[in-house]
Amino acid sequence: MREFEVGPNPHDPRLTRRVTGRDETGAEVETAVTVERPLTVYLNGQEIVTMMTIGDHPKWLAVGYLLNQNMLRADDRIDAIDYDEELELVVVRTQRPTDYEAKLKKKTLTSGCAQGTAFGDLMETFEDVTLAPDAVLRTAWLAMLLKKINTQPSLYLEAGAIHGCVLAREQTPLLYLEDVGRHNAVDKIMGYMFLNSVTPEDKIFYTTGRLTSEMVIKCVNMRIPILVSRSGFTAWGVDLARQANLTLVGRARGRRFVVLAGHERMIYDAPTGAEEEPESDRRKGGR
């Protein structure tokens, strides 16, 4: 894959809308706001969930969501993915018969933005995952990767009110996807990886959101050994990362960061100390 094989499209007219308002002086201003819309996901004949999303890449989002909820298995064969833009729904059809009526009754609300949900048995495969022990994260890669991400045109810089996730290998960003909830952005990447047979063992996952238990569980279930965020940690997220031997890097800005799990994968080969953030990143002040 080349650098930014898939990236944000801030100029897509479906994803933002111009509205007028007033600034701190009372002057009239016009600004872009992020559009969100419902998407209902079906697995075969069963309605699974309705989520709020910006509406790009609905097929990746649907497949990634079903995988991360353990409703699709890694060895499942998908016969068809049907998207109806007018009805705002995606139907994923599998060769294996499915019936998740009982599982749908065990939903629990998570801390994810945009009312993210995880099912009661979200962790049913967590303890069985072994992450690649020979994966490494060089600090020189991390510094270069952060610079590329922060200077990439995005919906965040255009309108804000959005989270982004990036799949990378070494210092090269491969996929950069955004949504109103960070869990949606994660699921889009998971769906892309599954449908395009992208291997996870040598990958780095970057998110603009907090390093919560949900983010750690999803990253582990995706078999990606390194998770990085510009934001901070929750205690349960750290505990789960240590349990799974996931390398967990937070508060990553410029050349500064904190590692709270999986230290053995780190190779410290970049100059230390603060590096000024790009003007575009400072102007928005973080998510």
Rounded to 5°, the CA angle 30-34-40 comes to 150
In the chain, where are the structural domains located? 137-284
Closest CA to 250 of 235, 267, 269, 271: 235
- The distance of Cα 238 from the centroid of its chain, to the nearest Å, equals 18
The predicted structure's pLDDT at residue 279:
43
183 pLDDT more than 60? yes
The predicted structure's pLDDT at residue 134:
95
**Calpha distance 135→267 (Å, rounded):** 11
170 pLDDT more than 90? yes
**Calpha distance 136→217 (Å, rounded):** 20
Q: What separation, in Å, do the N-terminal and C-terminal C-alpha atoms of the chain show?
A: 28
In this predicted model, what pLDDT tens digit does every residue of 116-167 receive, in sequence order? 445 445 677 788 899 999 999 999 999 999 999 999 988 887 877 889 999 9
Pick the CATH number of 137-284 from 3.40.630.40, 3.90.850.10, 3.40.140.10, 1.10.3720.10: 3.40.140.10
Give the SS3 label for residue 239. Answer: helix
In this predicted model, what pLDDT tens digit does every residue of 27-48 receive, in sequence order? 999 999 999 999 999 999 899 9
pLDDT band at 283 (very low <50, low <70, confident <90, very high): very low
